[in-house]
Amino acid sequence: MKKVILLLSVVLLSGATFGAEVNIVPKPLSVTLREGSFHVTSQTKIDFGKSAELRRSAEIFAEAVAPVVGGVMKSGSQGAISLTVDPSLETEAYTLEVTPERIAIRGGSAQGVFYGLQSLRQMIVDGQGTIPAVSIEDKPYFGYRGGMLDPCRHFWTVDEVKEYIDILAMHKMNRFHWHLTEDQGWRIEIKRYPELTRVGSIRKETLVGQYMHSNEYDKTPYGGYYTQKEIREVVKYAAERFITVIPEIELPGHAVAALASYPWLGCRGEGYEVRTTWGISSEVYCPGKETTFEFLENVLSEVIELFPSKYIHIGGDECPKESWKSCPLCQQRIKDEGLKDEYELQSYTIHRIEKWLRDHGREIIGWDEILEGGVSKTATVMSWRGSSGGIAAAKAGNHVIMTPNTHCYLDYYQTSTPVYEPQGIGGFLPVSRVYALDPYDHLNDTERSYILGVQANLWTEYIATFTHVKHMLLPRLAAVAEVGWSYDRKDFEDFRHRMKSLRKSYDAAGINYATYFFDNLDEVKQEK
């Protein structure tokens, strides 16, 4: 008996990790468990050398795990956690080595190190500070992994936008698509055109209930916008988390807020007001006027000064053509440019704005409608009406970001019995359906090379609080993140198991989320 007790004591003191698991989302490329474990406390120091980027990443990490380890870790040379850049690795790749004595994270860049810290964060939270000895090698499959937020239908404060960015970062996402202009509100300060925010950022009231069934309005003015100072603050905040902010300035449709501010931008030239309901308006920019293009170029001049992103999203979706058909100036433009119809007039508008942006060192992203009437080879297509637009674009040789509403629209309901959910736009999109996204569907090896990655979209017609935003976002964002990072190693049942550990990180961060997936209620018909 004494020998058994002695043997047991040796095992406990050695920190052996019998039955230990490493459950990280998104799934790493390889995980090899070793013997022993390491316990992280607030006294554990982080060594990042002289790198300012690594210092900031270490600070973000230390703040995130502070509630679990009992305080904020400090920096120090010869720290037990070491962060280094290893140029022999790919930019976003990292290795994470844990022994009973130390933790070492190497990244192909500071960005790779940051992602290694996100994995370490999950492990620390999952084990309440104790993590198994392990060797992890990891890198993302797709280079573009994004999340979109709509502040136009309902407005989000700078602090709320930062929290959204934090959530993207913990899932190793690297793009934040910020949808800044709409029929229901213009949300970006443009100093040359002050009426855009004085008038265009405020609607006199908002529809109550579902768009297709309600005629009730709340009779309350609603508005908000981001100053250029605030935008720079958000861009900097995102960059510290290795997220590029891609602004969207909608054209030629979804422009009523701009038309209400400057009526001469429309074909009718008068009588516009910021839209108080959802859906699609027939009132759009008038491409028959040179002043319209002058306005758009002036707006974009200020936009590109605020956003260093290579890409500028210009919308291009849901643009009715009725006003163009009855507009003498638009019809004259069609005739002068030798265009066939109004669809080619939209294509002319997109081409012209794209050329201007390209001349200024930027590239465009547009929704898949920009394919109608023809699109240049240098335009990137964001496929939202299912995957068909992205498939067509890739076959034509255009770069594509897959964000089909069938898998990536997180404003859809999460359960098969939505009467138990807060209000949504409709549809049914459980986690399993999100996870089933195949960005390469119907594409051969050559065509697959044009797929840049994936993106989750969160439209907010029916989402009026940020608590509701997070409820719709999580845990489905984790499924999009795993498609983007771990496409070549997906396994839904394994994902379901690992999500139990990621859930602990949500709880530790104080982030609310929908529980249907965790309770196995998202795809079960519930009784009333």
Residue 85 belongs to a domain with what CATH number?
A: 3.30.379.10
Q: Are 79 and 156 contained in the same domain?
A: no
Same domain, 431 and 372: yes
pLDDT at residue 8, rounded to an integer: 33
Going by pLDDT thresholds of 50, 70 and 90, the confidence category of residue 109 is very high
- Report helix, strand or coil for 96: strand
475: preceding bond cis by omega (within 30 degrees): yes
Strand partners, 246: 177
Q: Which of 28, 126, 21, 12 shows the shortest CA–CA distance to 69?
A: 126
Give the DSSP H/E element, type plus range, for residue 177: strand 175-179
Q: Is the pLDDT of residue 445 over 50?
A: yes
Taking the C-alpha atoms of residue 148 and residue 183, their distance in angstroms, rounded to an integer, is 18
CATH number of the domain at 291, please.
Answer: 3.20.20.80
Integer Rg of the chain from CA: 25
Higher pLDDT, 513 or 5: 513
pLDDT attached to residue 7: 36
Helix, strand, or coil (residue 36): strand
What's the domain range around 211? 144-487
Q: Would residue 507 count as lying in a domain?
A: no
- Dihedrals φ, ψ of 399, to 5°? -70, 150
User: Which pLDDT does position 15 carry in this prediction?
Assistant: 41
Q: Residues 321, 173: one domain?
A: yes
Model confidence over 402-423: pLDDT tens digits?
Answer: 999 999 999 999 999 888 899 9
- Pairwise CA distance, residues 397 & 374, whole Å: 13
For residue 424, with 0-12 CB atoms within 10 Å meaning exposed, 13-18 middle and 19 or more buried, which class applies? buried
Token representation of residue 309: 């992103």
Residue 500 belongs to a domain: no
Q: How much is the pLDDT for 527?
A: 53
Of 122, 138, 154, which one is at a domain's C-terminal end? 138
pLDDT (mean) for 73-91: 95
My answer on whether 387 and 242 are in the same domain is yes
* Domain shared by 352 and 456, yes or no: yes
Whether 34 and 70 share a structural domain: yes
Instruction: Count how many domains the chain has.
Output: 2
Assess if residue 52 is contained within a domain.
Answer: yes
Q: Which two tokens stand for residue 47?
A: 């060594």
Indicate if the pLDDT at residue 17 is higher than 60.
no
Same domain for 156 and 123: no
Q: What is the pLDDT of residues 192-202, one digit of tens each?
A: 999 999 999 99
Cβ pair 227, 158 in contact under 8 A: no
Backbone phi, psi, residue 44, to 5°: -70, 125
Q: Give tens-digit pLDDT for 300-312.
A: 999 999 999 999 9
Mean pLDDT (whole number) for 20-33: 97
Closest by CA to 246, choosing from 175, 306, 185, is: 175
Q: Is 65 helix (H, G, I), strand (E, B) or coil?
A: helix
In a domain, residue 518? The reply is no
Residue 374 has pLDDT above 90, yes or no: no
Q: Which of 382, 215, 202, 235 is nearest to 305 (CA)?
A: 235
Q: What is the pLDDT of residues 216-225, one digit of tens each?
A: 999 999 999 9
Contact 325, 268 (CB under 8 A): no
In a domain, 122, yes or no: yes
C-alpha neighbours within 13 Å on the C-beta side of residue 126: 21
Residues 6+ apart with CB under 8 A from 409: 384, 427, 429, 457, 459
Tell me, yes or no, whether 77 and 156 share the same domain.
no
Q: Has residue 74 got a pLDDT over 60?
A: yes
CA 239 from centre of chain: 14
pLDDT (0 to 100) of residue 525:
62
pLDDT, tens digit, for every residue of 124-177?
999 999 999 999 999 999 999 999 999 999 999 999 999 999 999 999 999 999
- Residue 266 and residue 215 share a domain: yes
Say whether both 100 and 148 belong to one domain.
no
* pLDDT score of 375: 86
Most confident range (mean pLDDT) of 91-100, 371-380, 516-525 is 91-100
Looking at the domain assignment, is residue 514 inside a domain?
no
| pLDDT over threshold 70, residue 460 | yes
Same domain? For 399 and 285 the reply is yes
SS3 annotation, 314-372? EECCCCCCHHHHCCHHHHHHHHHCCCCCHHHHHHHHHHHHHHHHHHCCCEEEEEHHHHC
| Residue closest to 92 by CA, chosen among 176, 172, 177 | 172
Amino acid type, 347: S
Are 127 and 222 within one domain? no
Mean of per-residue pLDDT scores for the chain: 95
The percentage of residues in the chain with a pLDDT greater than 90, rounded to a whole number, is 91
- pLDDT tops 50 at residue 256: yes
